[in-house]
Amino acid sequence: MYSNANANRKAERCVIDFYETLPENLRRFSFDIKKAVLTLGSCTVHSYQEFAANRDVDVGDIIAYCESYTGCTHKQGKNYMIMFNDSADISRADKTFTLAHELGHILLGHLLVLESFKIFNSSHANEHFEQSADHFAALLLKKAARERSRSARGAEITVPAYLFERAELDWI
């Protein structure tokens, strides 16, 4: 049977393992979720706007294609492509959380489980996976913020508290 506690522990383990793989400059001084995602090597990141412009379609068409206003992840063979809405009406903090959430889906193996879905998003995805990806995202961003606060030279990470509250954070 599915266990929330087990899923959360898996997400915590996954955050720790992923963080260990990041280069020093990303870990301590200038955590940037997009750069962190790109260290995977097997994942690219594109905005809806970039996609729409390249294909000469409306951003609304991309949102419909992804079936998500904020973001989605596409799996093709062994490679992943995260797409996110770079609209000015979405805060930088929310975009950061979206990218971290999609990274969570990849690292937690959700797309392998639901590979036949091809496009993975909140409207069709298993609710448990959504909760796990949120938990992963909140933990990763909290860890990044905490590491930064240990460094006097660290750049500011602006992630508001309400994003952290999406997950239980009595952790680290």
Binding residues for Zn ion (CB under 5 A)? 122, 130, 133
Q: CB-wise, 49 or 122, nearer to Zn ion? A: 122
Tell me which residue of 132, 156, 161 sits closest to 144, measured CA to CA. Answer: 156
Min dist. Cβ of residue 121 to Zn ion (A) = 6
Min dist. Cβ of residue 71 to Zn ion (A) = 8
Q: Give every CB contact of residue 66 below 8 A, 6+ residues apart in sequence.
A: 48, 72, 83, 119, 121
Min dist. Cβ of residue 7 to Zn ion (A) = 14
d(CA 74, CA 120): 7
Q: CB-wise, 47 or 132, nearer to Zn ion? A: 132
Q: CB-wise, 130 or 147, nearer to Zn ion? A: 130
Min dist. Cβ of residue 128 to Zn ion (A) = 11
Tell me which residue of 145, 55, 170, 74 sits closest to 114, measured CA to CA. Answer: 74
Q: CB-wise, 27 or 75, nearer to Zn ion? A: 75
Measured CA to CA in angstroms, residue 80 lies from 11, 28, 75, 90 at distances of: 19, 26, 5, 23
